[in-house]
Structure 1
Amino acid sequence: MPVVFRWKGYRFHFFSNEGDPREPAHIHVTKDGADAKFWLQPEVNVAYNRGFNARTLSLLSGVVEERREEIERAWDEFFS
Structure 2
Amino acid sequence: IIDVFDRYAGTEGNKLTLTKGEMKTLLEKELPGILGSAKEKDACEQLMKDLDENGDSEVDFNEFIIFVAAITCLGHKKFAEPKE
TM-score (norm 1): 0.38
Q: Which structure would you say has the larger Rg?
A: 2
**Which of the pair is proportionally richer in strand?**
1
